[in-house]
Structure 1
Amino acid sequence: MNWSLLLVLVLLGAATVMFAMHRPRMDVVAVLMLALLPLTGVLSVADTLAGFADPNVVLIAALFVIGEALSRTGITYRLGDRIAGFAGTSTARLIVLLMVAVAALGAVMSSTGVVAIFIPVVLSICRRMGVSPRQLMMPLSMAALISGMLSLIATAPNLVVDAELARAGHGGFGFFTITPFGLIVLVLGIGYMLFARRWLAGPGAAEGTSPPGAPGSRGFAELIADYRLDDRDRRLRIARGSPLAGARLAEAALGSGVIVLAVERRGLLGRGGRIVPAEPGLALRRGDVLLVHLAHTLPGEDETWGRVGLERLPLAGSLLDERSRETGLAELMLAPASPLLGRTVAELGLDADAGVEVIGLRRGGRAVPGPLARERVGLGDTVLVLGPWPRVRRLGARGGSFVALELPGEAEQSAPAAHRAPAALTVLALMVAAMASGVVPNVVAALAACLLLGLLGCIDMASAYRSIHWPTLLVIVGMLPFATALKQTGGIELAVRGLLGAFGSAAPPVVLAVLFAATALIGLFISNTATAVLMAPVAIGLAEQLGASPAPFAMTVALAASTAFASPVASPVNTLVLGPGGYRFADFARVGAPFTLVVLLVAVLAVPWLLPFGG
C-alpha cells in the first residue's frame, strides 16, 4: 500500500465516520472532502470538481423538479385519495394499494419526496379507518426503497452504477433493465409486509394527532368548527330550462355570499365526470353541478335556487375539506395601527384587493353569525378568508393593515396547479418514452420535460429551484472523486484482489452474494449514493478479473444499494417514517433484516438468469 492510497483511505474513513454519526451534515462533509482531496496531490482541482459537470447530477436535479410538478398538479394527492377509496375498510387491501402506488410514483420521482407527500395522506387514512400508523408507515418506506429498483432514473445509485459502466467502456443499462428485478422484489415485499405487519402491532406515536401540517397547526376541520361553517356547503345541479345554462360563471346571478368552489361536469354520453375549476369565464352547461359554499345563511334558500333553475343534491362531508388541494383558508387579524379598524367586512376590500372572500368572523373567541358584510372588525377580531392557495399564501407576505396567522395544515398538501394535471401526465409519459427508446440522452429528455412543465404552467421557477435537494447533489459530487482517487492509487485493484483471494475460487453466484452483502452492509452507515460510488468500480473490476460480463455484478450493486430496510438511518425515507410510525431502531432491524436476505436471494438467483455471466 502506497502513501497516496493511505491518505485517500484516511479521508474516506473520516467521511464514512461523519456520515454514520450525521455530524456534520452530509452535504457539509461532501464539501469538506472537495476541499481536502486536491491537497493530497492525488487529484487535480479539475478532477476533484468534475462531478459538477457529470450529466447524471444534472439529471437528478431535473428529476426533483419533475417530482415537484407532479405534486403541484395534485397527481400524487389524488392517487392517495383513490387508494383510500378503493381500500374501503380492508387494511390488507390498503397495504397492497399503498405499496404499489408508492413504488410506481417512486420509479419516476424522488422516493424521499414520495414518502414526504404520502405521510399526511397515510395519517389521514389511519384516522379515518381507525388503523395504527405503525402498520402502514413501514410498508410506505419499504415500497419507496423498492421503487429504486423499478427504473434507471428511480434513484441516484442506479445512475451512478450506469455511469461507471460507461466510463469503464462497457454498455450501460437500459431504462427498464432493472425493472424485472424490482417487480419481483415488490411482489415479495407486499407479501412479506402482509405477514410482518403483525410484528408492528400497537398504537403509533402519530395516532390521533392533528391533521397534517406543521406541529400544532389547525386544519380545515378545526377552522370550519371554530367559525361554525359546517352547514354552509351545497351541491346544486343546473336543471333543464335553467337560465344559467349557457351563461358564464361571472354572469350567473347567484346572490351575495354564494361562492362557487368548483363545477362537477359529466363526461361524454353522461359517463364518468370531472372537476372543472371555477374560473369566471367558464361557460355553464345543463347538468353541471355547482360546488358552493355560503358565506352566510340564506333566508328562503330553496326558493332562491328554484328561481335560477338549481336543484339541491345530497352532500356528504365538507366541500372545503374535499377541495383543500386547490382552495385555501387563512385567518387574518387587523394590525394595531391599521386604518381599517372599525370598518365593516365589506369595507376591508379583500375580495377586490387580494382575490379572497371573507367567510367567517370571530370576536371574543366566538363565531359571529352572518350576514357578515355589515359587521365591524375590531382589534383582536379574526376573519377567515377563502380563496385559491396562491392568493391565500400571498396574504402572509402582505404588510400594512393585515396580519396573517398560521396557515392550516392542508397548506402543505395544496395543489396550486391541479387543473394542469393532464398536461403533467402527458409530459411525464413523453419523457419516459424518450428515455426508454434512447432517442435522446436521458438528461436531455429530463431537461426538455422541465421546460415543457414550466411552459404549460405545471411549475414555476421559484418552486423548481426550491424542489431541488441540493444536499443530495453535493453528496454525489463530493463522493465521485473518491472513485477516481482509488483507481489512480490502486485502491480498487487492492479491493478486487482481496475479494478474489477470499472468494475467487467460489461459484460466481457466491461472489455476487458477497458483493451484495458488502454493499448492503456499507449502505447501513453511509448514503446509498456514496455506497454505489465506492462499490460500482469494485464490482466492475471484479468482473473483469473473473473474465465475466460486468452487467450482473453492477446490477447486484444497484439492487443492494436500495436495500436499506434494516436501519432507520440508512435512508432518508426510513428516517421520515420513524416519528409518525412510533418506531424504534429494533423495529427496523426485526422487519428489515429478514427482507434484506430475501432481496439477496433475488439478486443471486434472478440476476444471473436475466443477465448471464457470459454477457
Structure 2
Amino acid sequence: MNNELIWVLALLLIAIFLFTTNKVRMDVVALLVIIAFVLSGTLSLPEATAGFSDPNVLLIAAMFVIGEGLVRTGIAYQVGEWLMRVAGKSETRMLILLMVTVAALGAIMSSTGVVAIFIPVVLSVSQRMKTSPGRMMMPLSFAALISGMMSLVATPPNMVVNSELVRDGVEGFGFFAVTPVGVVVLAMGVGYMLIARYWLGGGETHHEREQWKRRTFRDLIRDYRLTGRARRLALRPGSPLIGQRLDDLRLRDRYGANVVGIERWRKFRRVMVSAGGNTELRERDVLLIDMTAAEVDPRQFCSEQQLEPMVLRGEYFSEQARDVGMAEVSLIPDSELVGKSLRQAGFRSRYGVNVVGIRRNGEAMQGKLIDEELKLGDILLVIGDWKLIRQLQIKKNNFIALNLPAEVDDVAPAVSQAPHALFCLALMVAMMLTEEIPNPIAALVACVLMGKFRCIDMESAYRAIHWPSLILIVGMMPFALALQKTGGVDLVVRLLMDISGGAGARVMLLSLFILCAAIGLFISNTATAVLMAPIAVAAANEMGVSPYPFAMIIAIAASSAFMTPVSSPVNTLVLGPGGYKFGDFVRIGVPFTLLVMVVSVLLVPVLYPF
C-alpha cells in the first residue's frame, strides 16, 4: 500500500465520518474533497472537476425539474386523491395501492418528493380508517426506496452505475433494465408489509388520531388558540404606513405587532394577499395583525399609525379560504431551522408565509413566538398564499407540510397544463426507449417543452433542483478515479477475490451486495454507488465474466436502504409522522434487506448471465 493510497483512504474515512456525524453539510464535504485532491496533487484540476461535465449529473438535474412539473400541474396530488377514492376504507387495499402507486411515481420523480406528497394522504386515510399512521408510513418509505429499482432514471445510483459501464467501454443499461428485479422486489415488499404492518403503530391513542386528522380552519384556530389574537385594521388616508415595506416598518420590533395578511382591492372586491417582508402597503389596505405579543395598547398603536379597527368575525378565515391558506409544518431531524428562532431564520422573508402558531409536545405555545427557539418535533402553523403553502410541501430540506386543511378543496388547482405535462413525460420515456437519443437530451427536451407549455417556469425549475445532491455526486466522483489511480480498487478487488473469488460468481455478487449495503449505513446511497461501481466492474473483469450482473447488484443494493431511519431521506421523513423509533426500522428493515439480497443474487444472473 503506497503513500498516495493511504492518503486517499484517510480522506475517504474523514468524509465518511463527516457524513455520519452530519456536523458539516454533505455538499460542503464533497467540495472540500475536490479541493483536497487538487491541492495534494493526487488528481489534476480537470480530473477532480470532471463530475461537473458528466452527462448523468445533467440527467439527474433534469429529472428534478420534470418531477416538479408533475407537482405544479397537480398530477401528483390528483393521484393521491384517486388513491383515497379507490382504497375506500380497506386498509389492505390502501396498502397495496399505496406501495404500487408510490413505486410507479418514484420511477420518474424524486422518491423524496413522492414521500413528501403522500405523507398528508396517508395521514388523512389513517384518520378516516381510524388506524395508526405508523401502519402505513413505513410501507410508504419502503415503496419509495423500491421505486429506485423501477427504471434507469429513478434514482441517481442507477445512473452512476450506468455511467461506470460506459466508462469501462461497454454499452449501458436500457431504460427498463432494472425493472424486472424491481417488480419482483415490489411484490415481495407488498406481501412483507401486509404481515409486518401488525407490528407497526399499534399503540396510537385517540389524541394522536385527532392530531393528524385533516382539520378545518376553525379546528386550527381553536387548537393553536388564535381566537381573539388577531385585529383587522384599515389604513386611513395619510397613514405613515402607506408606501412602506413591512420589513422597513419593523412593526414586530417596535410594537410586537405581526402582520399576517393584507386585504387589498382588486377588480371591485377585496382579496387577501400574502404579507411578505417586501410587501409595500397601499392606501385602502386592511391589515390582519396578530397582537398577542404587543408591547403597547392596541388603541395607542391604531392612533399613532392612523389605523381604523374593523369587524373580525369568527368565520373570517373560512370566508377568505380562496385567497389565504393555512397548513401545519413539521421540522425534520436534520433541519437547519432547529435551534434557531423564526427571526434568526428569516422565516417570513425566506418562505413568504407567516408562522402564527407553534405546538410543542401537543400544546399550543403562547407569547412572542418570533423569538422562540425552534426544537425538533415542533409543529408550526403557517398562513399565507396557497401557492406558497403548496411549495412548502416540496421544500424537504427543512420540513414537510403535514396536513392541508379541508378548505384547500375549495381552491381551484392549477391543472390546466396537466395534459401537456403528461405528454412531455410520455415523450421523454419514448425517446429513452428508442435508445437513439441520449437520455440526458431526452430529459432536456421534456424540460424545455414543459417550460413552453407553462407547466413550470424558470424560477420553479431552478428551485426544484436539489443542488446538494448534485454537488455530492460531483464531489464523490473523484474518489473513484483516485482509488483507481492509486491502486485502491485493485486492492479491494484482490481482497474480494481472496474471500469470494474461488467460490464462484454468485458468491461474489453476494459479497458485493453485503459490502454495498454495509457502506450505505454510513453514507448516502449515491456516494455508495460512486465508490462501489468501479469495484464491481473491476471484479467482473478480474473474473473474466460479464460486468452487467455485477453492476446491477450494486444498483439494487444501493436502493436497499431499509435498515435504519438515517439510511435514506425517505426513512427520515416518515420517522415523526409514523411515530417510529430507531429500532422499528432495524426490526422491520433488516429481515427485508436480507430477503432482497437473496432474491437479487438468485434473479440477477438469470436476467444478465455471467
- What's the TM-score bracket when you normalise by the shorter of the two chains? 0.7 to 0.9
Q: Secondary structure at the match of 1:356?
A: strand
- Work out the CA distance in 2 between the residues paired with 1:333 and 1:106: 45
Code of the residue aligned with 1:504 in structure 2: it is G
Query: Which residue of the partner structure matches residue 276 of structure 2?
Result: none
SS of residue in 2 equivalent to 1:418: coil
SS of structure 1 residue aligned to 2:418: helix
Query: 2:448 maps to which residue?
Result: 451
The answer to whether the Cα contact below 8 Å between 2:127 and 2:213 also exists between their aligned partners in 1 is no
Partner amino acid, structure 2, of 1:574:
N
Residue 81 (structure 2) pairs with residue 81 (structure 1): yes
Post-superposition shift, 1:576? 0.5
Shift of 1:88: 1.2
Shift of 1:340: 8.9
Give the superposition deviation at 1:381: 3.9
Q: Distance in 2 between matches of 1:140 and 1:72?
A: 22
The answer as to whether partners of 1:219 and 1:409 remain within 8 angstroms in 2 is no
8 Å Cα contact 1:355/1:387 also seen in 2: no
CA–CA distance in structure 2, aligned partners of residues 477 and 389 of structure 1: 42
Report how far residue 584 of structure 1 moved.
Answer: 0.7
Corresponding position of 1:318:
none
| TM-score, length of structure 2 as denominator length | 0.73
CA distance in 2, matches of 1:487, 1:221: 62
Deviation at 1:593, TM superposition (A): 0.4
Query: Aligned letter for 1:62?
Result: A
Quote the Cα distance in structure 1 between the aligned partners of 2:3 and 2:443: 42
Q: Select 1:507's aligned residue among 491, 504, 512.
A: 504
Q: Does residue 1:497 correspond to 2:494, yes or no?
A: yes
1:408-433 CA distance string (max 9 Å, x none): 79733688531211111111111111
| Mapping for residues 294-443 of structure 1, pairs under 5 Å | 333-334=232-233, 350-352=265-267, 356=271, 378=309, 381=312, 383-384=316-317, 386=320, 406-407=382-383, 411-412=389-390, 417-443=414-440
1:455-466 paired onto structure 2 within 5 Å: 455-466=452-463
**How far apart are the structure 2 equivalents of 1:465 and 1:186?**
32
Q: Per-residue CA shift, 1:417-473, capped at 9, x if unaligned?
A: 312111111111111111111131111111111111111111111111111111111
Show the 5 A alignment for 1:593-612: 593-612=590-609
The Cα of 1:521 is off from its aligned counterpart by 0.9
Q: Distance in 1 between matches of 2:506 and 2:289?
A: 73
Q: Determine the C-alpha separation between the residues in 1 that align with 2:601 and 2:443.
A: 33
Deviation at 1:25, TM superposition (A): 1.6
Alignment of 1:52-451 (within 5 A): 52-203=52-203, 207-209=209-211, 219-220=216-217, 222=219, 333-334=232-233, 350-352=265-267, 356=271, 378=309, 381=312, 383-384=316-317, 386=320, 406-407=382-383, 411-412=389-390, 417-451=414-448
Contact 2:424-2:449 within 8 A present in 1 as well: yes
Q: Residue 72 of structure 1 aligns to which amino acid in structure 2?
A: R
1:543 maps to a residue whose letter is A
Match 1:548 to one of 545, 549, 567: 545
Separation in 2 of the partners of 1:24 and 1:460? Answer: 32
Distance 1:468 1:509, change over 3 A: same
Distance in 1 (CA, whole Å) between partners of 2:323 and 2:68 is 16
**Aligned pair in 2 of structure 1 residues 392, 503: CA closer, same or farther (>3 Å)?**
closer
Q: Residue by residue, what CA displacement relative to the aligned partner does 1:517-545 show, whole Å, maximum 9, x if unpaired?
A: 11011111100000000000000000001
Against the structure 1 CA distance between its residues 124 and 348, is the aligned structure 2 distance closer, same or farther, given a 3 Å change threshold? Answer: closer
The answer to whether residue 520 in structure 2 is matched with residue 531 in structure 1 is no
Structure 1 segments unaligned to the other structure (5+ residues): 213-217, 227-330, 342-346, 366-375
Deviations 1:378-413 (A, max 9, x none): 2684754647669999xx99xxxx999742797336
The 1:390/1:478 distance shift into structure 2, 3 A limit, reads farther
What do the CA deviations read for 1:126-147 (whole angstroms, capped 9, x no partner)?
A: 1222120110000000000000
Aligned to 2:367: none
Residue of structure 1 in register with 2:366 after alignment: none
Counterpart CA distance in 1 for 2:427 and 2:158 is 21
Q: Which amino acid aligns with 2:309?
A: G
The change in CA–CA distance for 1:553 and 1:113 in structure 2 (over 3 A counts) is same
Q: Is the 8 A contact 2:324 2:384 kept in 1?
A: no
The offset of 1:170, in angstroms, is 1.3
Q: Once superposed, what is the RMSD of the aligned Cα atoms? A: 3.3
Letter in 2 for 1:20: T
Taking a change above 3 Å as real, the CA distance of residues 86 and 338 of structure 1, as seen in their structure-2 partners, is farther
Superposed, 1:565-576 pairs within 5 Å as 565-576=562-573
Provide the C-alpha distance between the structure 2 equivalents of 1:453 and 1:540, rounded to a whole number of angstroms. Answer: 37
| Distance change >3 Å, CA 419–CA 437, structure 1 → 2 | same
| 2:467 aligned partner, one-letter code | W
- Once the 2 structures are TM-superposed, how far is the Cα of residue 224 of structure 1 from its aligned partner? 9.8
| Matched residue, 1:314 | none
Alignment-mate amino acid for residue 31 of structure 2: V
Equivalent pair of 2:231/2:289 in contact (CA under 8 Å): no
Whether contact under 8 Å (2:107, 2:150) holds in the other structure is yes
Amino acid at match of 2:592: F
In structure 2, distance between residues paired with 1:428 and 1:593: 35
Change (3 A) 1:408 1:537: same
Alpha-carbon separation, structure 2, partners of 1:354 and 1:76: 33
1:404–1:182 distance in 2 versus 1, CA, 3 Å: closer
Q: Secondary structure at the match of 1:524?
A: coil
Bigger-Rg structure (1/2): 1
* Structure 2 residue matching 1:29: 3-state secondary structure: helix
SS at match of 1:580: coil
Letter of the 2:415 counterpart: A
**Residues in 2 aligned to 1:519 and 1:364: alpha-carbon distance in whole angstroms:** 53
- What is the alpha-carbon distance in structure 1 between the residues aligned to residue 268 and residue 48 of structure 2? 53
User: Offset at 1:203?
Assistant: 4.0
Q: Point out where structure 2 has 5 or more consecutive residues left out of the alignment.
A: 224-229, 241-261, 274-285, 292-306, 328-347, 357-381, 394-407
Kindly state the Cα deviation for residue 507 of structure 1 after the two structures are TM-superposed: 2.1
Q: Give the residue type in structure 2 aligned to 1:545.
A: E
Matches of 1:392 and 1:136 in 2, distance apart?
Answer: 25
1:258-304 CA-to-partner distances (Å, cap 9, x unmatched) read xxxxxxxxxxxxxxxxxxxxxxxxxxxxxxxxxxxxxxxxxxxxxxx
After superposition, the Cα gap between the structure-2 partners of 1:356 and 1:36, relative to the gap in structure 1 and judged at 3 Å, is: same
Q: Distance in 2 between matches of 1:475 and 1:582?
A: 30
Contact 2:325 2:384 in 1 (8 A): no
> How many angstroms apart in 2 are the aligned matches of 1:591 and 1:185?
15
1:30 positional shift = 1.0
Over 3 Å counting, the alpha-carbon distance change for 1:164 and 1:93 in structure 2 is same
1:348, CA displacement in angstroms?
6.5
* Structure 1 residues 556-595: aligned runs within 5 Å: 556-595=553-592
Q: Which amino acid in 1 is paired with 2:29?
A: V
Letter in 1 for 2:432: M
Number of the residue aligned with 1:474: 471
Contact 1:115 1:144 in 2 (8 A): yes
The one-letter amino acid paired with 1:15 is A
Distance 1:58 1:122, change over 3 A: same
Structure 2 CA distance for partners of 1:203 and 1:427, relative to 1, 3 Å? farther
Give the Cα separation in 1 of the matches to 2:385 and 2:586: 32
Instruction: Choose which of 513, 518, 521 in structure 2 pairs with 1:516.
Output: 513
Secondary structure of 1:378 counterpart: strand
In 1, are the aligned partners of 2:232 and 2:289 still within 8 Å (CA)?
A: no
Distance, in Å, in 1 between the alignment partners of 2:354 and 2:194 is: 49
Contact 1:30 1:474 in 2 (8 A): yes
